[in-house]
Amino acid sequence: MEILYIAIFTFIAATIGTITGFGTSTLMIPVLVMFFPPVEAIFLVAIIHWFGDVWKITLFRKGYNFRLVVLFGLIGLVTSYLGAFISLGANEQIFLRLLGIFLAGYALFLLTRSNFKVPPGNSTAFIGGALSGFFAGMFGIGGAIRSMFLSAFDLSKAVYIATAGAIGIMVDSTRIITYAISGTTLPEELWYGLLLFIPVSFMGAQTAKKIVDRIPQDKFRRVVSAFLLILGIKLLIWP
């Protein structure tokens, strides 16, 4: 039953994460850390998210912005490693509270400054890549920050999703390798569960492709932001 619940949740997270640009991890990590050790939860979701990135560039292959992939991705490789390295040695209680603060702070920012937009430019891409890479490695959640900075470049939805997927593959590959080298692993049932989680994540991405243009983006992101705020407060008070 545990595997089935995670599979259903993976489908929901893959669909919502693709549509909003937040990514699968942003929704899955805050929930799974309530049931699994943080690093274990991050490692599991990182593997699922890596395949989600593949689905993005496969399904939304109308072209991606190579310049932004390089600017975001190269610095993201470095900061993702740093974030993953720090998280591996972190105290679990402190780590979960930091995650709660990060989620609540980010959600409040989105809810109160929904019209905020960073200016486009190379420095924006560099800073966005550095921050999103670090938080992806540290907490397993970098897509939300990447979304904020990537949206500054006014890409079409298909190009935006494919570009985010290409950047994500670079960052996720780095943190997965870092976790694996450190000896991080999963319980046997979760390794077998990946045989279900991975195709289910593809189904979620396919569903997102079919409905992405029918969803009012701003309202949808506000609902997701409220969800993240609630989870962030929960982790901060009851890690």
> Quick one: pLDDT band at residue 216, thresholds 50, 70, 90?
low
Angle between helices 143-150 and 66-88 (to 10 degrees): 150
Q: Which residues fall within 8 angstroms of residue 55, CB to CB, at 6 or more apart?
A: 14, 18, 165, 201, 202, 205, 206
- The pTM for the full model equals 0.80
pLDDT surpasses 90 at 238: no
Residue-averaged pLDDT of the chain:
83
Which H helix or E strand runs over 153?
none
pLDDT surpasses 90 at 107: no
pLDDT in tens, 217-229: 666 667 767 777 8
Joined together, the tokens standing for residue 87 give 């998280």
Spatial separation of the C-alpha atoms in residues 26 and 201, rounded to whole Å: 14
Lowest mean pLDDT among 27-36, 152-161, 211-220: 211-220
Average pLDDT of span 90-111? 80
pLDDT surpasses 70 at 142: yes
- Maximum distance among all alpha carbons in the chain? 48
pLDDT surpasses 90 at 92: no
Query: Structural domain boundaries of the chain?
Result: 2-237
Q: Taking Cα atoms as reference points, which of 137, 33, 5, 35 lies closest to residue 82?
A: 137
Helix residue spans in the chain (DSSP H): 2-20, 24-32, 38-59, 66-88, 92-112, 122-139, 143-150, 157-181, 188-211, 217-237
Residue bearing tokens 């609630």: 230
DSSP assigned state of 183: T
Q: Taking Cα atoms as reference points, which of 148, 119, 143 lies closest to residue 133?
A: 143
Average pLDDT of span 46-63? 82
pLDDT in tens, 15-40: 887 777 667 887 888 888 888 888 88
Cβ pair 20, 147 in contact under 8 A: yes
Provide the pLDDT for residue 21: 67
Spatial separation of the C-alpha atoms in residues 6 and 100, rounded to whole Å: 21
Q: Which residues fall within 8 angstroms of residue 167, CB to CB, at 6 or more apart?
A: 68, 69, 72, 73, 76, 129, 132, 146, 150
Cβ pair 192, 45 in contact under 8 A: no
Spatial separation of the C-alpha atoms in residues 187 and 39, rounded to whole Å: 12
Phi, psi of 58 (to 5 degrees): -80, -45
pLDDT surpasses 80 at 1: no
